[in-house]
Amino acid sequence: MTDKSLWLGTVRGLRLAAGGSSPKPSPPAGGSSQDPSPPRGRGEGEGGDSRSSTLPRPLPGREGGLIWRLRRRRQPRWAAVFVPILFTGACGEKAPKNDLAAMRVARLTIRGHAFEAWLATDPTEQHTGLMNVTEAELARTADGADRGMLFVFPEERVLGFWMSNTIIPLDIAYARSDGTIVTIRTMAPHDTRIYSSVQPARFALEVRAGLFKELSIIEGDRMEIPESVLKAATP
């Protein structure tokens, strides 16, 4: 993401800025990620492997905070008080999270196993992905389907996600337009490295970490995605 710093003011040599900035080189659902404007997340964009420094896109940007710099000269007492007040305000901001209950849901299968997936189809949903979602929220449904989030993009491209603000480990499977899985990765919580699809992909499915191994799902397997989802994502 582009740097959108906002200078709040200068207090006798004390500078404060608020806003997000691009992730630091080489470090994602988790979110999601391709740049929505362009994720796992949590969220997409071009990149290499998980050690790549390429900025993605749904790839979410780093969540703000305040940046302050002190010049090497004595500061007035009131300036020292000003800093903690602003930091407290920033820490009190609401943690980013998708309203899962309001998102569309689709059933898909891989190797005959059912998944109930929230559909992340717009930039906001893709940017947020599975940020701050708990393990309990990814628990299986009553009929045994595993929960996850399916990121749907209008065309194939190299995707990349990171795990900013994602509090649980996740598996991610990238798939081409025909549903063929090209890359599977396991992503660590809060990891700001980019987990890339390496090959062009149109879909990304995030689930709890270890699930694909438990189900013997591997690269080359195929996601059976409902036709209604495919049509809705067609540009």
What tens digit of pLDDT does each residue of 141-184 get?
A: 999 999 999 999 999 999 999 999 999 999 999 999 999 999 99
Confidence of residue 233 (pLDDT cuts 50, 70, 90): low
Confidence of residue 231 (pLDDT cuts 50, 70, 90): confident
C-alpha distance across the termini of the chain, in Å: 24
Residue 43 burial (CB count, 10 A): 44
- pLDDT per residue over 67-126, tens digit each? 333 344 454 443 333 333 333 333 445 679 999 999 999 999 999 999 999 999 999 999
Mean pLDDT of the residues in the chain: 73
Closest CA to 151 of 42, 51, 50, 63: 42
Would you state the pLDDT for residue 190? 96
d(CA 78, CA 175): 56
Would you state the pLDDT for residue 210? 97
d(CA 92, CA 160): 29
Closest CA to 29 of 117, 90, 112, 94: 117
Would you state the pLDDT for residue 43? 53
Tell me the mean pLDDT in the region 48-68.
41
Alpha helices by DSSP H, listed for the chain, are: 77-91, 123-128, 211-214, 227-233
- Going from the N-terminus, what domains does the chain have, and what CATH number goes with each? 100-233 (2.60.120.1140)
Greater model confidence, 219 or 12: 219
Residue ranges of E strands in the chain: 6-11, 14-18, 66-70, 105-110, 113-120, 146-161, 170-175, 181-187, 195-208, 223-224
Confidence of residue 215 (pLDDT cuts 50, 70, 90): very high
* pLDDT above 50 for 39: no
* pLDDT above 90 for 63: no
64 contacts: CB under 8 Å, gap ≥ 6 = 18, 19, 20, 90, 93
Q: Are 119 and 105 in contact (CB under 8 A)?
A: yes
Confidence of residue 203 (pLDDT cuts 50, 70, 90): very high
Tell me the mean pLDDT in the region 214-222.
98
- Beta-strand relationship, 113-120 and 146-161: parallel
63 contacts: CB under 8 Å, gap ≥ 6 = 20, 96, 164, 165
Greater model confidence, 55 or 147: 147
d(CA 112, CA 63): 38
Would you state the pLDDT for residue 93? 55
Q: Are 56 and 37 in contact (CB under 8 A)?
A: no
Closest CA to 184 of 214, 225, 141, 229: 214
- Predicted TM-score (pTM) of the model is 0.64
